[in-house]
Amino acid sequence: MKRYARTINLKDDPAIIERYIEHHRAVWPEVEAGLRQVGIERMLIWRLGRRLFMLAETADGFDWDRDFARYMERGGRVLAWQTLMDSFQEPVDEAQPGEWWAEMEQVYALE
């Protein structure tokens, strides 16, 4: 299993934050099916204020750039969902140029 830890900010607007939360209480089935089909086995998102933290657990052969692109190529409701979610978000200051969800560095693990 691989793990990916990423972070992003929601736009600084209480109505946008609430809409984001509401959408995640009822994620569209096509979105969850699409994520599983490309190798994402588990995805968790936490929020503190407007900062989001995502932990994704994937199959060993999963490559984020390649396989998330395959997910997006599904189009339809998957693309509509992602476009909608992107409209609520903005990169964190620490993101690399062109990076949306900034990849985080693991600094400790209790095994």
Query: Which pLDDT belongs to residue 74?
Result: 86
CA gap 107, 97 in Å, rounded: 23
What does R_g of the chain's alpha carbons equal in angstroms? 14
State the CATH number of the domain containing residue 21. Answer: 3.30.70.100
Domain membership flag for residue 98: no
pLDDT tens, position by position, 23-81 = 999 999 999 999 999 999 999 999 999 999 999 999 999 999 999 999 999 889 999 99
Instruction: Return d(Cα 101, Cα 92) in angstroms, integer.
Output: 8
Residue 18 domain flag: yes
Model pTM? 0.92
Bridge partners of residue 102, in order along the sequence: 7
Tell me the residue range of the domain where 85 lies.
2-90
pLDDT of 11 > 90? The answer is yes
Domain membership flag for residue 34: yes
Question: How many separate domains does the chain show?
Answer: 1
